[in-house]
């Protein structure tokens, strides 16, 4: 899995807004839609577009957005996008464009 690291310590913004901004940046950079966001345990929220998972090693204000083939499609994506890919299994064939900077994050 490759994650885009996002940092936003603006106390006035809601966590969901910060995640939305991280999603937008991921989509612009990789021309793909992420399906998971790792956050600190303090910032765990429900998000309509993406699976949000707490990671104990993350500090507040850090968000890691990426694509995990093992994560189910969020309800907001629905059948329409899955059908456009040909099948649900087609989602496992996600590929991102070449990467200029590689950050490795090991998730256990």
Q: In angstroms, how far is CA 2 from the centroid of its own chain? A: 10
Q: What is the residue whose two structure tokens read 């990426």? A: 66
Other Cβ atoms closer than 10 A to 87: 9
pTM for this predicted structure: 0.66
Burial class (CB in 10 A: 0-12, 13-18, 19+), 26: buried
pLDDT of residue 101: 52
SS3 string of 63-105?
EEEECCCCCCCCCCCHHHHHHHCCCHHHHHHCCCCCCCCCCCC
pLDDT in tens, 17-73: 999 999 999 999 999 999 999 999 999 999 999 999 999 999 999 999 999 888 765
CB contact at 8 A, 71 and 36: yes
pLDDT of residue 82: 43
């Amino acid at each position: 899995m490759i994650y885009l690291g996002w940092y936003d310590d603006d106390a006035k913004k809601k966590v969901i807004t910060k995640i939305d901004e991280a999603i937008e940046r991921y989509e612009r950079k990789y021309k793909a839609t992420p399906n998971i966001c790792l956050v600190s345990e303090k910032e765990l929220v429900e998000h309509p577009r993406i699976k949000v998972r707490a990671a104990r090693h993350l500090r507040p204000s850090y968000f890691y957005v990426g694509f995990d083939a093992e994560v189910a499609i969020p309800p907001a994506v629905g059948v329409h996008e899955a059908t456009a890919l040909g099948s649900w299994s087609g989602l496992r064939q996600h590929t991102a464009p070449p990467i200029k900077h590689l950050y490795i994050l090991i998730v256990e």
